[in-house]
């Protein structure tokens, strides 16, 4: 029987990872940051869990996956119209409402955000729905007039931050906004760097966002290595940029092929329980050219079938960087030997990949911050 696999690792975060290093200078300057030379990422032992049902396999790449307050996991997938529930062991146990346009139905579920008593479903085309975790009653909220790229809840329903796209074609102009969704219509509280206020012609790319503390949140620009911490009024409380060779440079050019390296992009941001800031970047693998030459591809044509092109995990790998709370110390900067998708919770990564025969694998990977001199520490 075919299976979708989830790997779940135990989580351990180090309070400080420079202790015990006697022969190495623990901190040096790197690209304007204080850099920890003795810190590294470590992945712990794994458990393999099955995730299959009588209805079949999980369909396609996860767009989003989160853990509800009762321990169940909820996910939306690229080729399924409805969000799906999983138990703690990763088995499919039901769907979160049917596909459709009516109350309690979904047409384009895109982002999931758990709250203490609900699962908030943000649809790509702007509709917002709250599902009660206990009763699974559904409340359909306001429809936002744009494409939702990412969303977080600072407090439900009166403080919701949305990264959105707007304009012809849909999603070409991007910005951030805070809404109050407690009424029949969405009330705009604040908008950050809206297109109408920009004085340059550079495309404003979409942002990935994550909750910080109180009424503040983190944002990273998809095509520009810029990290900002903001409050709901739009004030920037902290900011950092990276100018490393592998870092996104703000370019809107997304073309790549046998002779063009795949462009780096920001993937995700997350604040852990110790207020550290975890940033995930997608960059080209060192052997990315092999993905083309092994297929005998020297030129890409529009009519080429998608399954004949290299897979994302053959072209890209993820780099994880961990900053201190105020962004002035870079604790870790390591390229993973794999392509991850996003953060799920503290240090937990979601990874989707395919086997050589095209069989899907989903992994939940927990990483910890470790000391190179004491790899077993936690």
Tell me the domain boundaries of the chain.
5-51+205-360+367-371
Residue at token pair 């800031």? 277
Instruction: Encode pLDDT of 342-361 as tens digits.
Output: 998 887 888 888 777 777 77
Instruction: Give the CA angle between residues 78, 84, 88 to the nearest 5°.
Output: 120
Predicted confidence (pLDDT) per residue in 291-336, tens digit = 999 999 998 888 888 888 898 999 999 999 999 999 999 999 999 9
More confident residue, 256 or 123: 123
Neighbours of 261 (CB within 10 A): 14
Q: What is the pLDDT of residues 43-55, one digit of tens each?
A: 765 544 465 666 6
Check residue 198 and give its pLDDT. Answer: 44
Statement: residue 364 has pLDDT above 70: yes
pTM of the model: 0.86
The span from the CA of 301 to the CA of 201, in Å, is 30
Which of 51-55, 62-66, 258-262, 337-341 is predicted least confidently? 51-55
Confidence of residue 290 (pLDDT cuts 50, 70, 90): very high
Tokens describing residue 240? 């950092």
Mean pLDDT computed over 189-205: 58
Task: Select, from the ranges 17-26, 37-46, 50-59, 128-137, the one with the highest average predicted confidence (pLDDT).
Answer: 128-137
Q: What are the backbone dihedrals phi and psi of residue 319, each rounded to the nearest 5 degrees, phi first?
A: -110, 135
How many CA atoms lie less than 13 Å away from 34 in the CB half-sphere? 10
Chain position carrying tokens 């592998």: 246
Tell me phi and psi for residue 200, to 5 degrees.
Answer: -105, 170
Q: What are phi and psi of 195, to 5 degrees?
A: -55, -35
């Amino acid at each position: 029987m075919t299976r979708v696999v989830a790997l779940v690792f135990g989580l351990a975060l180090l309070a400080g990872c420079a202790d015990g290093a006697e022969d190495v200078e623990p901190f040096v300057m790197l690209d304007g940051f204080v850099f920890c030379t003795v810190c590294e990422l470590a992945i712990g032992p794994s458990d393999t869990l099955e995730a299959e049902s009588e209805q079949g396999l999980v369909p396609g790449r996860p767009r989003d996956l989160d853990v509800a307050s009762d321990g169940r996991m909820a996910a939306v997938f690229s080729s399924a119209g409805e969000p799906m529930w999983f138990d703690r062991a990763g088995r499919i146990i039901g769907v979160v409402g049917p596909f459709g346009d009516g109350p309690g139905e979904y047409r384009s579920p895109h982002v999931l955000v758990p709250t203490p008593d609900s699962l908030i479903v943000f649809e790509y085309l702007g509709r917002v729905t709250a599902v009660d975790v206990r009763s699974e009653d559904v409340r359909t909220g306001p429809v936002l007039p744009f494409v939702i790229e990412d969303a977080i809840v600072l407090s439900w329903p009166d403080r919701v931050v949305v990264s959105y796209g707007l304009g012809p074609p849909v999603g070409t102009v991007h910005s951030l906004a805070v809404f109050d969704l407690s009424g029949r219509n969405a009330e705009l509280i604040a908008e950050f760097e809206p297109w109408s206020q920009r004085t340059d012609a550079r495309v404003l790319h979409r942002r990935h966002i994550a909750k910080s503390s109180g009424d503040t949140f983190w944002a990273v620009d998809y095509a520009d290595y810029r990290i900002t911490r903001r409050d709901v009024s739009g004030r920037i409380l902290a900011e950092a940029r990276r100018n490393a060779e592998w870092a996104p440079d703000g370019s809107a050019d997304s073309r790549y092929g046998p002779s063009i390296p795949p462009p780096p992009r920001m993937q995700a941001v997350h604040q852990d329980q110790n207020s550290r800031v975890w940033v995930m970047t997608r960059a080209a693998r060192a052997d990315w050219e092999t993905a083309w030459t092994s297929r005998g591809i020297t030129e890409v044509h529009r009519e080429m079938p998608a399954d004949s092109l290299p897979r994302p995990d053959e072209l890209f790998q993820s780099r994880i960087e961990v900053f201190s709370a105020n962004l002035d110390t870079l604790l870790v900067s390591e390229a993973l030997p794999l392509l991850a998708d996003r953060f799920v919770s503290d240090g937990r990564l979601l990874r989707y990949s395919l086997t050589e025969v095209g069989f899907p694998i989903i992994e939940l990977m927990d990483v910890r911050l470790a000391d190179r001199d004491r790899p077993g520490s936690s």
